[in-house]
Amino acid sequence: MSRPRSSRLVVALGLVALSVAGGMVAAERSASAMATAADRFLESLTPEQRAEAAFEFQSDERLTWHFIPTEMFPRNGLTIKAMTDAQRARAHDLLSAGLSQRGYLTATTIMDLEAVLRAIESGGRMDRDPETYFFSIFGTPSPDGAWGWRVEGHHLSLHFTIVDGSAVASSPYFFGSNPAQVRTGPKAGLRVLGDREDAARALVMALEGSQRTAAMIDDVAPDDILTGAELAVDPLSPVGVKAAALNPSQRELLMRVIDAYTSVMADDIATERMASIREAGLDDIGFVWAGSTDRGEPHYYRVQGPTFLIEYDNTQGGGNHVHSVWRDFAGDFGRDLLREHRQASAH
Q: What is the pLDDT of residue 68?
A: 97
Q: What is the pLDDT of residue 347?
A: 52
72-89: per-residue pLDDT in tens?
999 999 999 999 999 999
State the average pLDDT over residues 54-70: 97
Q: What is the pLDDT of residue 30?
A: 83
Q: What is the pLDDT of residue 16?
A: 34
State the average pLDDT over residues 47-69: 97
H-helix or E-strand spanning residue 274: helix 267-280
Contacts of 220 by beta carbon, 8 Å cutoff, 6+ apart? 290, 291, 298
State the average pLDDT over residues 260-280: 95
User: Quick one: DSSP state of residue 4?
Assistant: P
Give the Å distances, CA to CA, from 188 to 36, 113, 179, 180.
38, 12, 10, 11
DSSP E strand boundaries for the chain: 54-55, 78-79, 134-138, 146-153, 156-163, 167-169, 173-177, 216-218, 241-242, 286-291, 299-304, 308-314, 322-328
Angle at 215 between CA 211 and CA 217, to 5 degrees: 135
The domains of the chain are located at 6-171, 194-330
125-139: per-residue pLDDT in tens?
888 999 999 999 999
Give the Å distances, CA to CA, from 299 to 149, 169, 322.
32, 29, 10
CA 32, distance to chain mean position in Å, is: 20
CA 12, distance to chain mean position in Å, is: 32
Distance CA 33, CA 27 (A): 10
**Contact between residue 106 and residue 265 where contact means Cβ atoms under 8 Å apart:** no
Give the Å distances, CA to CA, from 288 to 86, 96, 206, 219, 250.
45, 32, 13, 12, 14
**Contact between residue 116 and residue 179 where contact means Cβ atoms under 8 Å apart:** yes
| DSSP SS3 for 218 | strand
Distance CA 177, CA 159 (A): 18
